[in-house]
Amino acid sequence: MDMQELRENADLSRTEVAYKLRVSETSVRNWERGRTEPTMTPQKYLEALNLFRCTPEQLAAASEKSLNQNHKGKPGRPKRIVKNETDKPKSSAADI
């Protein structure tokens, strides 16, 4: 079970999870897509366990599965490669 399945089994929408845990809906979406790992205070962690009606082991396993699986949908923005001066081929006297 991944984070999305955990949320759906608790019959919750992303908006409800975000509201009840006082996080952004984007955070919840990123947890589900495996882009980020849920980071919470101990109090918020206990709230999440109650909200999802799961054990700590189930929450950890769901987070791990989300992070490790190939996700549907659009990939994140590709990283921009910036070439610096050291990446350019050096010219020699023979090239002139």
Given pLDDT bands bounded at 50, 70 and 90, which one contains residue 9?
A: very high
Q: Residue 86 CA to chain centroid, in angstroms?
A: 34
Given pLDDT bands bounded at 50, 70 and 90, which one contains residue 77?
A: low
- The pLDDT, as a whole number, for residue 69 is 82
Structure tokens at 60: 């950890």
Structure tokens at 67: 């992070």
**Can you give the pTM of this predicted structure?**
0.68
Domains of the chain from N-terminus onward? 3-68 (1.10.260.40)
Tally of CB atoms within 10 A around 48: 19
- The pLDDT, as a whole number, for residue 39 is 87
Nearest to 43 by CA among 22, 62, 19, 13: 22
- Helices (H), ranges, the chain: 3-9, 14-21, 25-33, 42-52, 56-68
Average pLDDT over residues 73-83: 55
User: pLDDT digit string (tens) for 19-38?
Assistant: 999 999 999 999 999 999 88
User: pLDDT digit string (tens) for 41-73?
Assistant: 999 999 999 999 999 999 999 999 998 885 554
- The pLDDT, as a whole number, for residue 88 is 55
